[in-house]
Amino acid sequence: MNIFSAFRDRVIAAVEGLQLETRDGGPLETARVNVEPPRDPSHGDIATNAAMVIAKQVGENPRALAEKIVSILDQDADIVETSIAGPGFVNLRISNEFWLNQLKLMADESAQYGRSNVGGGKKVNVEFVSANPTGPMHVGHCRGAVIGDTLANLMKFAGFDVVKEYYINDAGVQIDVLARSVMLRYREALGEAIGDMPEGLYPGDYLVPLGEALAEQYGETLKEKSEEDALAIIKDAAIDAMMKLIREDLAALNVHHDVFFSERTVHEDNATKIKAALNDLTLKGHVYRGTLPPPKGQLPEDWEDREQVLFRSTEVGDDIDRPLVKSDGSYTYFAADVAYFVDKFERGFEEMIFVLGADHGGYVKRMEALARAVSDDSVELTVLLCQLVKLLRNGEPVKMSKRAGQFVTLRDVVDEVGRDPVRFMMVYRKSSEPLDFDFAKVTEQSKDNPVFYVQYASARCYSVFRQAQEQIPGISADLELLHMLDDESEIALVRKLAEFPRIVEAAAMAQEPHRIAFYLYELANSFHGHWNKGNDNEHLRFVKVNNPQLTSARLGLVQGVLNVLRSGLEILGVDAPEEMR
RNA sequence: GGUCCCGUAGCUCAGUUGGAUAGAGCAUCAGAUUCCUAAUCUGAGGGUCGCAGGUUCAAUUCCUGCCGGGAUCACCA
C-alpha cells in the first residue's frame, strides 16, 4: 500500500466533507492535490498542498481553508499533530502506531510489499538490446540492456503486463557480410591460408570456432556447392551461433527476454508480412509514389532525384517521408519495421517502449509516426534514449578501435567487475544523462561505492540475524512486539521504508528505473546511520542479550529493511547478499 | 543548417511530474575513535539552478528566444 495515496484519499475526503461551493458552480477539481513527504522532516511526516489548490476554485484564502481542512483531519486517529505553514501547506504528523502497523506489513508481506497495481494490467512491450547478430555484445549494449530489463521488472512490479522483447536484425547486408566472413573462417579451418580478413568483413576471432564447427560438420562439401547455396547454409548457422553467443552474454548480465522476434520472418514467403503491412498502410492512405526533397545543407554526391514508394510520415509528425522500397525492388529496413510494428500491434500491446542508444535519436520521429499511422493513434509509443557510457580505467578513457576489431565486449566487463556492480551502476544515473563507468571505482569495497554500500546493508541485515542467533539461540522476529520500538531513529527508518511503494509507483509511471537505485542508496544510508548510532548508544543496538523481547521486535525492523532491500534489488536484477566477501 | 538530449556546489550527480530555507557523494576544512556494531564516525564551509523574457498564489521544474556541450541527420541495417 502506498500510504501517501491512502492519506491523499483522506485529505480529499476531508475537503469534500466541507461541502464547498465552487465559484463557477462546477465540480471541485482535486486532481492537483498532492500528498507527499515534506523535504524537511521538521515539517512533519506528510504534507499536502490541498488548501492552495482548492482555495482559488472556491474563492477562499488558502490558510483559512487549511484551517478548515485541519479541523476535520484532527479527528483522524492516525494523525497526532497538524499544522499550517507557509502559503497554506497542511503538515501532518502520523502516530507511531500507524508506522509500526506499516512495518508489520513490510516484514510480513515479504516480497509483496511495494507491489502496486497502478499499471492496471496494461499490456506493454519493452524492446531492448536488439543488437545485430554479427558478434558478441560489446560494452555499448550494456546500458540499454540493463535499463530495459530493469524498467520491465519495475513495471511488472507496479502492475503492468510486460513482455520483454528482442528484435533480431537477421536480414540485410550485415548478415551477408557475416556469412562471407564465416565462409573464410570455414576455408581457413580446412587448411587454406586466408591471410588477413579483407576490408569490410568481420575480423574478430569469435568466428574461428564457428568455421571449425562447419568444417567438421560439412567437410569439403560446402566448397563444392555454388557460392549462393553455401552462403545460405552458412548464414543460418552463423545467425544461430551469434544468437547463442548473445544469449549467453545476456544471461551473464542477468537479462532475460520473453520474446526473440526475427526480422527474417517478415521477409519469408516472398515477404508476405511486409506486403500485408504495407497494404494496410496504403489503404489508410499513408503510402504514395513520389520524390523526396534533397537533403538540406550539402548535397550528397550520389544524390539522385528519383520517384519511389514512400510512407507519408510527415502527415503524422515526421520531418521527412520515408522510403519503403529500394531501387533494386527489395524492401528497406523501415518497411520491415512497419511489418514488425503491425505484428506487435496485432498482439494487443497498448504501449510500445523502445530502449535505444542516443545515437538512434533520429529514429524516434519515424517510429512515432509509424505508431500513429498503424494504430490510428491508439497505442502509446515511448522511446527511451540512453546516453553513452564512457569507460574509464584509473580515470583514463579506455581506447577502443573498432577497425582493428578491438573492442571491449560486454563479457569482458562482466567478467572483470561482476554483474551486480555493472547492473547497479548502469541504472545509478538518469538514462538521459551520460555515464562514466570506472573499472576501479565499481569494484571498490568501501562506502564510496554505492553498489557495495547497498549490498552491504543487505549483508548487515543477515549478519544481525546471525548474531542474534548466536547470542540468544532460538530467537526470531516477533511482529506482535513491534510496539516496543519507540526510538525516533527506529521510527525514522520505518518512515523511509514506507516510501518504497510510492517510489515504485512514481518510477514506473515516469519510466525512470534509476529512482529505485537512488532510493535503495538512501535506504541503506538510513539503515547504516541507525546502526552507527548503536556505536555511541548501546541501547540502540539490535541485539540485546538481556532483553529478548526487544530484540525480537528489532529483528522485525531488520526484517522490514531486508525485505524492501531485496525487493528493490530484485527489480534491479542485483543480488542481495547474505555476506560480503 | 534541421532535429533530439544535456547545462544545478570545485568534481560526479539527485531533485518526489509546479511547492516551503535547492539536496547527496567525492574533494576541502575541523573534530572523534584503548568502547569492536570501524571494509570508519560526527560536524562545517561551499549555489545568480547557463542567460533573458513569459505563464501564476508559487518556476530548478512548463513555454519562447539566445549561449555553451554532446548525439544524429543514408535507398545502411
Confirm whether A166 is domain-assigned: no
CATH number for A479:
1.10.730.10
Instruction: Check pLDDT > 60 for residue A354.
Output: yes
Q: Is the pLDDT confidence value at A59 over 90?
A: no
Query: What pLDDT was estimated at residue A302?
Result: 64
Q: What is the pLDDT of residues A116-152, one digit of tens each?
A: 999 999 999 999 999 999 999 988 899 999 999 999 9
Whether the per-residue pLDDT at A300 is higher than 70: the answer is no
Give distance CA A244 / C1' B76 (Å).
25
CA→C1' distance for A330 and B51 (Å): 51
Q: Are A450 and A424 in contact (CB under 8 A)?
A: yes
Residue A101 Rama label (left phi>0; alpha psi -120 to 50; beta): alpha
Q: Decide: A150 and A572 in contact? Cβ < 8 Å.
A: yes
A33 vs A57: CA distance, rounded Å: 13
pLDDT at A447: 86
> Which protein residue's Cα is closest to nucleotide B1 at C1'?
A297
Bridge partners (DSSP) listed for residue A308 = A290
Give the pLDDT mean for A19-23: 85
User: Do the domain assignments include residue A423?
Assistant: no
Closest nucleotide (C1' vs CA) to A43 is B20
**CATH number reported for the structural domain that contains residue A267 in this entry:** 3.40.50.620
Domain boundary residue among A51, A76, A94?
A: A94
Q: Does residue A209 fall inside a structural domain?
A: no
CA–CA distance, A210 with A223 (Å, rounded to integer): 16
Residue where one domain finishes, among candidates A357, A378, A399: A378
Q: CA of A80 vs C1' of B22, distance in Å?
A: 29
Predicted confidence (pLDDT) at residue A442 exceeds the cutoff of 70? yes
pLDDT tens per residue across span A273-299: 999 999 999 999 999 998 887 766 555
Q: Residues A470, A568: one domain?
A: yes
Nucleotide nearest residue A173, measured CA to C1' = B77
- B36 C1': nearest CA residue: A535
Output the domain CATH number for residue A10.
3.30.1360.70
A429 CA, B15 C1': Å apart: 13
Q: Report pLDDT for A451.
A: 93
Instruction: Name the pLDDT band for A448 (thresholds 50, 70, 90).
Output: confident
Q: Band the pLDDT of A388: cuts 50, 70, 90.
A: confident
For residue A8, tell me if it sits in a domain: yes
Domains in chain A: how many in total? 3
- Confirm whether A105 is domain-assigned: no
Q: What is the band of A79 on the pLDDT scale with cuts at 50, 70, 90?
A: very high
In this structure, what C-alpha cell is assigned to residue A338?
512497419
pLDDT in tens, A520-579: 999 999 999 999 998 888 889 999 999 999 999 999 999 999 999 999 999 999 999 999
Q: Which tens digits make up the pLDDT trace of A185-214?
A: 999 999 999 988 888 899 889 999 999 999
Under a CB-based contact definition with an 8 Å cutoff, are residues A281 and A311 in contact?
A: yes
Map grid coordinates 483531519 to a residue: A73
Pick out the nucleotide with least CA–C1' distance to A32.
B18
- Which nucleotide is closest to the Cα of A169 by its C1'? B77
Distance CA A399, CA A422 (A): 19
For the CA atoms of A566, A568, A573, A575, the dihedral, rounded to the nearest 10 degrees, stands at: -30
Cell numbers at A229, concatenated: 547455396
Of the candidates A86, A36, A32, A173, the one whose C-alpha atom is nearest the C-alpha of residue A501 is A36
Per residue in A535-552, pLDDT (tens digit) is 888 889 999 999 999 999
Q: Could you report the per-residue pLDDT of A463-490, keeping only the tens digit for each? A: 999 999 999 999 999 999 999 998 989 9
Q: Indicate if the pLDDT at residue A402 is higher than 60.
A: no
* pLDDT of res. A23: 81
H helices of A139-172, in order, are 142-157
SS (H, E, C) A232-276: HHHHHHHHHHHHHHHHHHHHHCCCCCCEEEECHHHHHHHHHHHHH
Is A487 domain-assigned?
yes
Mean pLDDT of chain A: 91
Identify which of A24-28, A191-195, A239-243 has the greatest average pLDDT. A239-243
* Residues contacting A130, CB < 8 A, separation 6+: A166, A167, A168, A169
What's the pLDDT band for A441 if we cut at 50, 70, 90? Answer: confident
Q: How far is the CA of A254 from the C1' of B66 (A)?
A: 46
Domain-located, residue A24: yes
Whether the Cβ atoms of residue A144 and residue A128 lie closer than 8 Å to each other: yes
Please check whether residues A476 and A567 belong to one and the same domain: yes
The candidate with the shortest Cα–Cα distance to A178, out of A141, A204, A157, A154, is: A204
Show the domain range for A369. 263-378
A357 contacts A388 by C-beta, under 8 angstroms: yes
Residue A505 pLDDT:
95
| Contact assessment for residue A506 and residue A154, using Cβ atoms and an 8 Å cutoff | no
Question: Taking a C-beta distance cutoff of 8 angstroms, is the pair A45, A98 a contact?
Answer: no
Q: What is the percent of chain A where pLDDT is above 90?
A: 73
Residue A448: which nucleotide is closest by CA–C1'? B25
Nearest to A208 by CA among A172, A249, A238, A165: A238
Nearest to A275 by CA among A200, A335, A185: A335
Whole-number Å distance, CA A491 to C1' B54?
A: 45
**Domain ends where: A72, A94, A116?**
A94
Beta bridge partners of residue A325, listed in sequence order = A331
Strand, helix or coil at A310? strand
Q: What does the pLDDT read at residue A329? A: 87
Same structural domain, A565 and A469? yes
Predicted pLDDT of residue A524:
95
Same-domain status, A467 and A373: no
* Cell numbers linked to A240: 544461430
Nucleotide nearest to A336 (CA to C1'): B77
Task: Label residue A459 exposed, middle or buried (CB < 10 Å: 0-12, 13-18, 19+).
Answer: middle
* Residue pair A494/A560 in contact by the 8 Å Cβ criterion: yes
Alpha carbon of residue A109 to chain centroid: 24
Note whether A365 and A469 are same-domain residues.
no
**How far is it, in rounded angstroms, from Cα A103 to Cα A370?**
48
Beta pairing class for A79-85 and A46-48? unpaired
Q: What is the pLDDT of residue A403?
A: 52
Residue A212 domain flag? no
Enumerate the nucleotides of strand B whose atoms come under 7 Å of any protein CB. 1-6, 12-17, 19-27, 35, 37-42, 57-58, 70-77
* A87/B45 CA-to-C1' distance in Å: 31
- CA geometry: angle at A580 spanning A576 and A581, to 5°? 135
- Residue with CA nearest C1' of nucleotide B75: A326
- Measure CA to C1' and name the residue nearest B13: A429
In this prediction, residue A234 carries a pLDDT of: 96
Q: What's the CA A444/C1' B42 distance, rounded, in angstroms? A: 24
Query: Which H or E run contains A164?
Result: strand A161-168
Q: Provide the CA A282 to C1' B77 distance, Å, integer.
A: 24
Which nucleotide has the shortest C1'-to-CA distance from A512? B17
pLDDT digits (tens, 9 = 90+) for A311-349: 999 999 898 899 999 888 899 999 999 999 999 999 999
How high is the pLDDT of residue A299?
Answer: 58
Whose C1' is closest to the CA of A90: which nucleotide?
B20
What mean pLDDT comes out for the span A249-270? 95
